[in-house]
Amino acid sequence: KRRGAGGGVSVYAPRMSEQQQERKAIRGELRRAIENRQFSLVYQPKIDIASGRCVGMEALVRWDHPQRGRIRPDQFIPVAERSGLIAPLGEWVMREACRQNRAWLDAGLPPLKVAVNVSAVQFLCQDVVEMVARALRESGLPARHLEVEITESVIMTDAAKVMRMLDGLRDLGVSLAIDDFGTGYSSLSYLKRLRVHCLKIDQSFVREMLRNDEDVRITRAILNIARDFGLEVVAEGIETADHAAFFKAEGCHLGQGYFWGKPMEPADFHGYVSRDLAA
Ligand code: C2E
Ligand code: CA
Ligand code: CA
Ligand code: CA
């Protein structure tokens, strides 16, 4: 029997279980999708703001589902993280990004640094150093052409273990970036301990910046911290010329966002960089 409008439980319960079923379905399909190679990577240019030149790219994973079409990572990365499938998926992403960047080097593109997202959960359930070393070895990509993006949440997990892995990655010659910087934990002491090369200013600050004075102040504070620590900064989510002009005026070197380019298929990215060179 159905209850009236006040019966919150009966109204919401079916919806919850639908969502749970969806999750369960995705979990089962993810496993097969990894075996069946249903994933692909798209690449978003990273720009030197002063010159407007492309200096690197971020690899972003997509799931090409045979029935549902292309699925964005927000819908399956969290499921993969909860089920442990993030390890094989993340390893595939790392190998593919290294292979592709090596292929672009061989095709005569200028040396570009490819940034790969590595989930905090991967640091818990696999030896990330060994995984990255294998991907570099197999692809023949020099380590200086690879950057690993981590979020602040990695240090909240198992600090000693993670620190060892970050040291190991640095020893390989791989760059480290903190993603979504400013959205995580308030303690800045980890910045010293993590010894990363780069901070990525989260796009939520950039989006509100032109309307919200506080976001401008937070953004300036992050740029100052980066300067003091001698770190590179990437401003994320740059969508307009006004955004780009602001960061240029503030002395931020690198930017990423729809203003310069959306994430692209490999062939389109190749064309983008070639046009950039000819210009
Ligand atoms: P992220 O690492 O913060 O990546 C940036 C996201 O912002 C991407 O979404 C990108 O398409 C989007 N974006 C870039 N420029 C703009 C812009 O100007 N405006 C707006 N509104 N959005 C912009 P995407 O590709 O859907 O990825 C979402 C998140 O999924 C990523 O956030 C990352 O946390 C995760 N992710 C993506 N690929 C991987 C992967 O291979 N491994 C892991 N572990 N996570 C991944
Ligand atoms: Ca990222
Ligand atoms: Ca980000
Ligand atoms: Ca994000």
Q: Which ligand is nearest to the CA of 93?
A: 1
279 CA distance to ligand 4 middle (Å):
32
Please report, in tens digits, the pLDDT of each residue of the chain (279 residues total).
344 444 444 455 556 677 788 778 888 899 899 889 899 999 999 999 999 999 999 999 999 999 889 999 999 999 999 999 999 999 999 999 999 999 999 999 999 999 999 999 999 889 999 999 999 999 999 999 999 999 888 877 677 888 899 999 999 999 999 999 988 765 677 777 788 999 999 999 888 887 888 889 989 999 999 999 999 999 999 999 999 999 999 999 999 999 999 999 999 999 999 988 887
Ligand 1 pocket test target in 39, 41, 77, 205 with most atoms within 8 Å of CB: 77
- Looking at ligand 1, which residue's alpha carbon is closest to its atom 42? 117
Please give the single-letter amino acid code of residue 198: C
ipTM for the complex? 0.98
The three-state secondary structure class of 53 is strand
pLDDT value for 3: 43
Q: d(Cα 278, Cα 267) in Å, to the nearest integer?
A: 17
Tokens (6 digits) for 60? 């972003």
115 CA distance to ligand 4 middle (Å):
14
The alpha helices in the chain, defined as continuous H runs, are 8-35, 77-83, 86-106, 120-125, 128-139, 159-172, 189-194, 203-208, 213-229, 241-249, 266-278
pLDDT value for 184: 75
Tokens (6 digits) for 23? 């999750």
- Torsion angles phi and psi, residue 185, rounded to 5: -95, 150
The three-state secondary structure class of 85 is coil
Q: d(Cα 92, Cα 89) in Å, to the nearest integer?
A: 5
Q: Which run of H or of E encompasses 181?
A: strand 175-181
pLDDT value for 279: 78
pLDDT value for 15: 65
Q: d(Cα 182, Cα 214) in Å, to the nearest integer?
A: 13
Residue 117 Cβ < 6 Å to ligand 1:
yes
**Around Cβ 188, how many Cβ atoms within 10 Å?**
9
Q: d(Cα 254, Cα 236) in Å, to the nearest integer?
A: 9
Positive or negative torsion for Cα 96, 102, 139, 231? negative
219 CA distance to ligand 1 middle (Å):
20
- Nearest residue to 98 (alpha-carbon basis) of 60, 128, 62, 136: 136
Contact 199, 234 (CB under 8 A): yes
- Looking at ligand 1, which residue's alpha carbon is closest to its atom 4? 60
Q: d(Cα 177, Cα 198) in Å, to the nearest integer?
A: 4
pTM of the entire structure? Answer: 0.92
pLDDT value for 5: 46
- Nearest residue to 181 (alpha-carbon basis) of 217, 134, 234: 234
